[in-house]
Structure 1
């Protein structure tokens, strides 16, 4: 089944498959399924009416590609105004106050290879 541009496997539970959509975690997935009454069902057993209601609920929230674009825009704004967080993004270092002396080696490695 195709939902919001994501392909959902028919043989898995709907709660698990909804978490494949960017912006929906386990908690939000369980909340949506309980609200619709499709808790603990496989994707192939959901009728078309429930699928339509599910699509309406998902369209109301920013998820998927809309959310990815919003995050990219927000980071671009930080880069443009040249604030501290924007500078950390630019250097590919941890942004939220993590230490860089012993950890964050992967982010340092990415930055090092991008400069060469």
Structure 2
């Protein structure tokens, strides 16, 4: 397994796929990084030399991509700002509800979590006939 910017990337995968394991790098960005670093597509991550790994790191840094910790921090600060100004999206994030206009009467289970059944709790003394 190779390490790129503190992230273990799987050695068996092709480099354009393995780069996607870095948070903030998707398919298009991965191809762009490979092109900038002059690495042939289809090369397995385990077959990369130290020089090629350093070329990838330089391509990522020179491309001014926001990745990993910086990106997570930026996204977290954006959410905190929305919540602080009490805008609609911020409130939806606070309550754990869908943010982008999806329906909530049915579905939305990914955001809302498992169902919490609300029902009537019967009085245990009612059956015995004790008043």
1:49-98 Cα shifts (integer Å, max 9, x gaps): 22212112223210111101110010011111111110000010111111
**Offset, 1:47:** 2.3
Aligned length: 112
Q: TM-score, normalised by structure 1?
A: 0.84
Hey, which of these two has a bigger chunk of helix by percent? 1
The two structures, once aligned, show a CA RMSD in angstroms of 1.9
Q: Secondary structure at the match of 2:21?
A: coil
* Greater relative contact order (Cα < 8 A, sep 6+): 1
Structure index of larger Rg: 2
2 CA distance for matches of 1:55 and 1:34?
Answer: 13
Residues 1:87 and 2:88 are matched in the alignment: no
TM-score, with structure 2 as normaliser: 0.76
Q: Is there any run of 5+ residues in structure 2 with no aligned partner, and where?
A: 117-131
- Residue in 1 aligned with 2:121? none
Which segments of structure 1 move beyond 4 Å, counting only runs of 4 or more? none
User: 1:43: Cα distance to partner?
Assistant: 1.3
Could you tell me which residue of structure 1 aligns to residue 100 of structure 2? 96
Structure 1 residue runs of 5 or longer lacking an equivalent are none
